[in-house]
Amino acid sequence: MKTKQELRSAYRQLRKKLTPDQVKEKSIAIRRQFESWLSEREPLTHFHLFFPIDRFNEVNTFYIMELLEQKDKVIYTSQVSKDSLDMDTLKLPKDAAFFLDEWGIPVPQESILVAPSKIQVVLVPLLAYDSQGNRVGFGKGYYDHFLSKLNADVIKIGLSFFEPEPEVKREMHDIPLNFCVTPEKVFTF
């Protein structure tokens, strides 16, 4: 089994090889798969999104944000608190405008700081994941820390351009996914 560091390195390289057109095409395919998943769960209303860091070729979640806005869903995101692993939860206005912070993360120009208690679904960034829903993030621990503070029944969905690994070593603090959406299908764990 590969270590998390080996997987991080391998998937960073795989992402680097994707062209901007491939990232766009695969992100739109992920949106379609997510829309199909959502069509069976219409009562869900409160969604937490991460927004893509372009230089890391992350899944472009702005396509999913557009879909959620069309369906009148409530959208949240987070911003890292200075000097801690905590992330502040921000409720987005409809048609929010964004700017890039010092890490290249899109941040809403206007938002409302809220408690994360209403969040029902969190779209989780990742580099790799396995067939049991264990994920490899960027290694800072922000999302595991954030997820640990949410209601236990929050649905955790990874987004990935790639298929699952056979196995990812799970550590005590790791919080597994319930689903992972790829361009081809939705994996259920």
Binding residues for substrate: 58
Binding residues: 4-8, 58, 135-143
Residue 1 burial by Cβ neighbours in a 10 Å radius (0-12, 13-18, 19+): exposed
Neighbours of 159 (CB within 10 A): 29
C-alpha 170/C-alpha 185 separation (Å) is 24
Element (H, E) at 76: strand 74-80
Binding residues for ATP: 4-8, 135-143
Element (H, E) at 145: helix 142-148
90 and 114 Cβ atoms separated by less than 8 Å: yes
C-alpha 113/C-alpha 134 separation (Å) is 30
